[in-house]
Amino acid sequence: MPTINYIEPTIDNVGATISISGQGFGNTQGSSYVRIGGSHAPVVSWFDNQVRVRVPDFSFAGQKTVELTINNRTISNSSFSVAGPQASSYYPAGTISEDDTFTIYGSNFGIAADFEGSGAVTRSIEISGSGVYQSVTSVLSWSDTSISFKWPVPNTMLSNKTVSVTVKTGNYLSSTISNITAD
């Protein structure tokens, strides 16, 4: 009888690869599959004692049940949670101008590998304010705790100089920092 011993890590963002460790999974995937929170989880690797999958896209963060179905038999574990991005601060704290480097600090932004390859989810940064909506296309760096990019909005586009920046991981989970002053 297959068993799940533990899931590592126990919390991660959409797109991340997690490991499900146990026994009796079989040496090849065959027709077996994994679901997290009821959604299909793309398999990265499959071994008898460990299965690695990507966390699928979700509309809300929180606790999710991980289910392995092997030979039409399902085993589950409820010790995994999906984390949404959490933007907490930014730099520079003063006024930002076009082409300045802007950095957002926080957690659960994901790493580059979470958004590349088979089964990857999308990520984006959006700036909004004064009726302007701008997607950031010039990302300089993206890590789990910080994102740096070139400020793309010319100051002539903003009548009100206060804007918001939203970080999205997947299609649904996001975090917004408001009251940023643009030059």
Where are the chain's structural domains?
3-82, 86-181
pLDDT of residue 165: 95
Which residues contact residue 88 at a Cβ distance below 8 angstroms, ignoring those fewer than 6 apart? 105, 106, 107
pLDDT of residue 1: 85
Euclidean distance between CA atoms 73 and 169, whole angstroms? 32
- What is the C-alpha R_g of the chain? 20
Maximum Cα–Cα distance for the chain, whole Å? 66
Global confidence as pTM: 0.89
86-181 CATH pick, 2.60.40.10, 3.40.50.10320, 1.10.240.10, 3.50.50.60: 2.60.40.10
Best CA proximity match to 20, nearest among 94, 75, 71 = 75
CA separation, residue 87 to residues 67, 109, 145 (Å): 31, 8, 9
Fold identical between 3-82 and 86-181?
yes
Q: Are 68 and 86 in contact (CB under 8 A)?
A: no
**CATH of span 3-82:** 2.60.40.10
- Residue 135, judged by CB atoms within 10 A of its CB (0-12, 13-18, 19+), counts as exposed
Q: In this structure, what are the phi and psi dihedrals at residue 116, rounded to the nearest 5 degrees?
A: -130, 150
Please tell me the predicted confidence (pLDDT) of residue 158.
Answer: 62
75 and 2 Cβ atoms separated by less than 8 Å: yes
Inter-CA distances, 37 with 57, 62, 72, 152, Å:
10, 10, 18, 37
Task: Provide the residue-wise pLDDT of the chain in tens; the chain has 183 residues.
Answer: 899 999 999 999 999 999 999 999 999 999 999 999 999 999 999 999 999 999 999 999 999 999 999 989 999 999 999 999 999 999 998 888 889 999 999 999 999 889 888 778 899 999 988 777 889 998 999 999 999 999 987 766 666 678 899 999 999 999 999 998 887
CA 28 to chain CA centroid, nearest Å: 28
pLDDT at 156: 67
Alpha helices in the chain (DSSP H): none
Pair 93, 177: CB distance under 8 Å = no
